Amino acid sequence: MSNQMEKRTLFSIIANEETTNSFLITGIGNINKKAEKNYFITTDTTSVDDIKNKFISFTKRDDIAIIIIAQNIADRIRHVIDAYDEIYPSIVEIPTKESKYKPQNDSLMKRAERILSGE
Amino acid sequence: MSGKDMISVFPSRMALTLMRGRLRGAQKGHSLLKKKSDALTIKFRGILKKIIETKTMMGDVMREAAFTMAEAKFAMGDFNNLVLQNTDKAQLKVKTKRDNVAGVNLPVFEAFHDGSDAYEYTGLARGGQQIDRIKKNFAKAVTLLIDLASLQSSFVILDEVIKVTNRRVNAIEHVIIPRIERTLSYIISELDEREREEFFRMKKLQGKKALARAAAERNRNTSEEQYGPAASLLDRERDEDLLFD
């Protein structure tokens, strides 16, 4: 288990251009040997399928530890994120300039709700 | 899962002692597991609270950072493409450490810098300072994100462990202990029954012996009355059965 963990060192981000850029400036952007980027910039015209496929491909990679996703985009593939059950990579939903953070939409919060109310 | 099942043992006193020992063990295990589950649940709630706090804090940090971003754009124009072009190998990465909490291995993420700063040369005249500020602000957001990711992973792992532990607690409470208790009562009832049988048999035997003795006594008395005392060869009196004497 720790060998796997040692390989997971990258962030990845799915957000609009502005947010993604802001994070890339801090130096988390990466293009690996297979020319795969660890970031995905969405626009108003990006389809739900594209977002979904990108998300799933990020979760399948073994070098990504954390996936940062803007909450408004997460809302568009909510069913996929709700069904996500793995421990790694971690999925962190962030607010953006357009969307304030809504805990009721966050998949993690919903999971917590389920657990605590099931006691 | 039949409600009447128990462990198959031959009912003996040895088995009784062994079963009692097993019951004690199961009860101890049950209380220990319950304690573990409670401790983990407390930690779990604590983590949840922290997650909510951190996410709200991050909302503020991101808003502030976005503001500096807007300022920089105003001063420098759009530098998005510049940033994208310079992306090659990540300098900001995460390291995973393991933390042991109440017997559970929880991951802790830590940021670390790998390599030189590729954006050194995006520091153009006026924009340089702005870029620097953006970098610092978003780096703050990234730190918060790392904390959040650690919390979230711990959260998910704890969830699993608590579920498993609770399942085991319930299993012991509703399956294992009743099974042992049923076996115990079976052994005890068998032993009791055996004792009763022994007792009854002994009583019967004693009764029979007494009857047999009484009957023997009676027989001896009756024959003496009817036939007189038994003949003896040593008698000197005349024997009637002899013809020529």
B179 vs A118, residue with greater confidence: B179
- What number of C-beta contacts closer than 8 Å exist between A and B? 143
Q: What pLDDT shows up at residue B123?
A: 47
Asked if A25 and B87 come within 8 Å (Cβ–Cβ), the reply is: no
Is pTM beyond 0.90? Reply is no
**A73 close to A51: Cβ distance less than 8 angstroms:** yes
Within 8 A of A30 by CB-CB distance, chain B residues are: 87-90
Distance from CA of A47 to the nearest CA of B (A): 22
Please state the rounded mean pLDDT for residues B41-64: 85
Please state the rounded mean pLDDT for residues B223-238: 71
Is the pLDDT reported for residue B146 higher than 80?
yes
Q: What pLDDT shows up at residue B235?
A: 67
B3 vs A100, residue with greater confidence: A100
Q: Write out pLDDT tens, residues A67-113.
A: 999 988 998 999 998 888 888 888 988 887 777 778 788 888 787 77
Within 8 A of A116 by CB-CB distance, chain B residues are: 45, 48
Return the residue in A12, A23, A25, A39 with the most chain B beta carbons within 10 A, the one to mutate for interface testing.
A25
Within 8 A of B62 by CB-CB distance, chain A residues are: 94-97
Asked if B92 and A92 come within 8 Å (Cβ–Cβ), the reply is: no
Please state the rounded mean pLDDT for residues A53-61: 91
- Of A67-81, B123-137, B200-214, give the lowest mean pLDDT range: B123-137
Asked if B109 and A65 come within 8 Å (Cβ–Cβ), the reply is: yes
For B45, nearest residue in chain A (alpha carbons): A116
Q: Write out pLDDT tens, residues B62-104.
A: 888 878 777 777 777 777 777 777 777 777 888 888 888 777 8
Is the pLDDT reported for residue B13 higher than 50?
yes
- Of A5-9, A37-41, B128-132, give the lowest mean pLDDT range: B128-132
